[in-house]
Amino acid sequence: MKAFEWVSPASVGEAANLLKSAPAAKDVDDAARPIAGGQDLLTTMKDYITRPARVVNLKGIRGLDRIEPDGRKGLRIGALVTLAELEESAEVRRDFPALAEAAHSIATPQIRNLGTVGGNLCQRPRCWYYRLEEAVCLKKGGSECFAATGENKYNAILGGGPSYIVHPSDLAPVLVALGASVAVTGADGKRTIPLEKFFTLPSEGNIRRENVLRNDEIITEIDVPASGFAAHSTYLKFKERDSLDFALASVAAAVELGPEKTVKQARIVLGGVAPIPWRVPKAEGYLAGKTLSADALAGAARLALEGAEPLGKNAYKVPLTETLVRRALAKASGLSV
């Protein structure tokens, strides 16, 4: 690991200034980084994937570790809330079940005890070429995405190219489905970003990054609004190892039912299949006004995967994800179809 300076600010403003005033970096991955639970950042530093000269410890900042109602039946989640706290919160389990399910599906109890919500959203991709120190792939400033023609069983089938990473966070698809936004503080001020606009495709923005955060910006909280569908939400994740694993494919679904079990509103976001949480508005629109039946679920699942372009070794993700879409919609609506 490259030597680095460790600083522990007491406020978010001080942290942002410390990120901004760090020595200029030759490469984006040499830039100063905030650290929360360290469950991802330290691994990338040990493998020389990131090489920050300054690491800004967020854990000493007070007030970022609470889950609070927002006064309108929504939820404010501090960026330093741990995955274990999210999973165990009675309010989250009752009013936002998909969020508790997603948190529970992540890694191991030990990692959930340390990993934070902010760090989970900002964790780096798991593609094994990206994680291999010796492989200088597109995302590390090289000229080629080795997954495009290589061992791509775990890579993207939607929205890929020129890099085919998949977004690793399990919380992200759920938070996008629930219409959440993130509050961000930088050295030059604050802003609020809808989570749906937070993550960036490799084909847009900076291919070396996965979101719109500037180097000196820190997520301070995640705001989840009240909605008619949050309480009828679920997260289904398919992983190879039951004990701990990232999603091969996952689905966050939320459904608001009207009279006679017709769909008033549906939200469907796919995980593990695209470089960003992949919302499928066409499938959502198709369900609006329909009575949920096996045919309607199958129609929505087909539309959700429309446009999928599997690579050489990951065509299995198409039927797998279609099945998860059908099952997640049925579960969220309380139907046994």
Ligand X SMILES: Cc1cc2nc3c(=O)[nH]c(=O)nc-3n(C[C@H](O)[C@H](O)[C@H](O)COP(=O)(O)OP(=O)(O)OC[C@H]3O[C@@H](n4cnc5c(N)ncnc54)[C@H](O)[C@@H]3O)c2cc1C
- Would you tell me which residues interact with ligand X (CB under 6 A)? 33-41, 58, 79, 83, 106-107, 111, 114-116, 118-120, 122-123, 168-170, 213, 218-219, 244-246
Shortest CB 36 distance to ligand X, Å? 3
In this structure, the number of other CB atoms found within 10 A of the CB of residue 109 comes to 12
φ/ψ of residue 69, rounded to 5:
-65, 150
Burial annotation 140-179 (CB, 10 A radius, 16+ → b, else e): beeeebbbbebebebbbbbbbeebbbbbbbbbbbbbbbbb
- Spacing of C-alpha 318 from chain mean position: 20
Looking at the Cβ atoms of 35 and 236, the one nearer to ligand X is: 35
Looking at the Cβ atoms of 123 and 314, the one nearer to ligand X is: 123
Shortest CB 336 distance to ligand X, Å? 28
Shortest CB 112 distance to ligand X, Å? 7
Shortest CB 117 distance to ligand X, Å? 8
Shortest CB 10 distance to ligand X, Å? 15
In this structure, the number of other CB atoms found within 10 A of the CB of residue 192 comes to 10
Token duo for residue 22 = 């760090």
Distance (Å, whole) CA 160 – CA 113:
32
Looking at the Cβ atoms of 272 and 301, the one nearer to ligand X is: 272
Looking at the Cβ atoms of 191 and 302, the one nearer to ligand X is: 191
Which residues, other chains included, contact 186 with Cβ-Cβ below 8 Å and sequence gap of 6+? 16, 20, 214, 216, 217, 218
Shortest CB 229 distance to ligand X, Å? 22
Looking at the Cβ atoms of 114 and 337, the one nearer to ligand X is: 114
Shortest CB 30 distance to ligand X, Å? 13
Site of tokens 């503080």: 185
What is the rounded radius of gyration, in angstroms, for the C-alpha atoms of the chain?
Answer: 20
What is the amino acid identity at position 134? E
Looking at the Cβ atoms of 111 and 135, the one nearer to ligand X is: 111
Residue whose CB is nearest to ligand X in the complex, by number: 119
Site of tokens 């997603």: 102
Which helix (H) or strand (E) is 264 found in, with range? strand 263-271
Looking at the Cβ atoms of 137 and 174, the one nearer to ligand X is: 174
